[in-house]
Amino acid sequence: MSGIAGGALHSTVRGAILYTSDKPERRGRERGREYFSITRQSDGVRVVHSHCEIDDAPDVLRDVVLSLDPAGHPLDAFVRLSVGGRFEGSGWMRFAESQAECESFNRQSGRTAQRIALPRRLRGLVAHPLVGDALCLQLYDRSAGPGRAFYPDVMLTSPDHRGATGPLLFQAGFGLEFVGEEQIEVAAGRFDALHFRYVDTDELPVEHPPYDIWCSAGDYIFLRGAVGGYMQTRYELVSLQRGG
């Protein structure tokens, strides 16, 4: 825990995730990495910083800053992308009770301003870092036990499976299946984990391959992931530091 002005306290979690291939000819080979921090402020707001690197051509560099209110609703976000060694785009998003807005500049389409009316407050934002995918799992009401539910009140910053376009706001719901509680071991240690699957992704331009994900039981920190289909990738938490 670290002190801030006025004697209030905040806490920070920092970590790193390794991306590897699961294709037979490349199984276990490193194909990217992600470095992140999550700071919980004294008011309960969480601020997520993530730097993602995907080595597969065209290579992707993505930097994301995302803030969530105490209930997990997105408040604002910033995304910057480079694809194939070139600037692709950057954008700022803000989410109010009845409106989502985005100001962005993209190499291909230039300057874009979006104002999207919302019937209710946005429930989730997928900005494509894995640590953010894990935090979205809080949408599921675990008191109902294992099962699945669909969430229409969410947006993405890119409909591309690698998050390599935009950034722009894209409306598309998805489902979550809660498989159950497990204890797993990853490079960063042994954890009491929650096992989920992303399902019902047919609202995307191209349906996402099967995606299993494990997060820590207490605070939804990303632990492990596996994507099947044409992607055949795996992801694992390799370091975690709490506090400071």
Read off the pLDDT of residues 85-122 as tens digits, 9 standing for 90 and up: 999 999 999 999 999 999 999 998 899 999 999 999 99
Average of pLDDT values for 172-194?
96
Pairing, β 124-126 against β 154-156: parallel
Adjacent-strand bridge partners of 91: 79, 104
Read off the pLDDT of residues 13-44 as tens digits, 9 standing for 90 and up: 999 999 999 999 999 999 999 999 999 999 99
User: Residues with Cβ < 8 Å from 95, sequence gap 6 or more?
Assistant: 73, 74, 75, 76, 101, 118, 121, 122, 125
Is the pLDDT reported for residue 204 higher than 50? yes
pLDDT bin (cut points 50, 70, 90) of residue 4 is: very low
Return d(Cα 147, Cα 142) in angstroms, integer: 9
Is the pLDDT reported for residue 74 higher than 50? yes
**6/138: higher pLDDT:** 138
pTM score of the predicted model? 0.93
Is the pLDDT reported for residue 189 higher than 50? yes
| pLDDT mean across residues, the chain | 93
pLDDT value, residue 120: 92
